[in-house]
Each structure stands twice: as structure tokens, then as C-alpha cells.
Amino acid sequence: MSAGLDADAPLRIAYLTYRGKPHVGGQGIYTRHLTKALCDLGHSVEVFGGQPYPVLDDRVPLTALRSLDLFNDHYPGRFPAFWEFKSRFDFLETAVFSTGVFPEPLAFSA
């Protein structure tokens, strides 16, 4: 072990999630409970996530990442306006989503 590093010291954890809505799948549930448990153990956790944003414990800050908000509660499956497309990847994500396929595998391979 290197000098100055304490194996028992609390960790600073960046938790990354693509989408975090707790009502439509496991990712949001896992995010909430895992980050809470890590805080309970004394670690410092910050979540970085896109829309729909996760519901988190009060001790866990969220850094909200820009996205097209395709899973909006008021307009689920909405088609973004043309000015919302900031890159070809935004357009590609919407096009793939419109076919009934989740675009995550494509997004993660870019």
C-alpha cells in the first residue's frame, strides 16, 4: 500500500446512471437503494444521470445531465422538436426509439 492511503477511509464515489426513473424498471430502484447503502456505510456518493432523473436519498446529490426527455411523465414517448437536437446522436437516439427499440446499446457503443 502506498504511503498516505488509508484502506479504511471513506470513498468518494461517482455513480453513473443513464436513466433513473424508479417506476419503470430496475435501474432507478438499484440506484436509490445502492447509493443510500453506500452513504450509510460512510461513503460520499454523487449520482450523474439523465432524464428521467432518479429519486434519491437526501444525502445523495444529483448532477443532472442533458437529454431529450423521451420518457416525460406528462408526454410519454414524445417526439422532440427539431431545435432540441444538438447532435446527430440526438437524432439517431430519437429515430431508434421511434421504432420501438431502446437505443441504449447504440449509445453505449458510440
Residue 68, pLDDT > 80, answer no
* Least confident interval from 13-17, 34-38, 40-44, 72-76: 72-76
Judged by DSSP in three states, 26 sits in helix
Inside any domain, residue 3: no
Q: How far apart are the first and last CA of the chain?
A: 36
Q: Is the peptide bond before 103 cis (omega within 30 degrees of 0)?
A: no
Residue 75 shares a structural domain with residue 63: no
Averaged pLDDT of the chain: 82
Kindly state whether residues 58 and 95 are assigned to the same domain: no
- Taking a C-beta distance cutoff of 8 angstroms, is the pair 37, 22 a contact? no
Residue 32: domain span: 10-67
Domain check: are 26 and 48 in the same one? yes
Whether residues 61 and 76 share a domain: the answer is no
Alpha-carbon distances of 92 from 80, 88, 95, rounded to whole Å: 12, 6, 5
Kindly state whether residues 27 and 59 are assigned to the same domain.
yes
User: Is residue 101 located within the same domain as residue 53?
Assistant: no
35-55 per-position pLDDT tens digit: 999 999 999 999 998 888 899
For the chain, the 3-state helix, strand and coil shares in percent, each to the nearest 5, are 30, 15, 50
Query: Per the domain annotation, does 49 fall within a domain?
Result: yes
Q: What is the pTM of this model?
A: 0.72
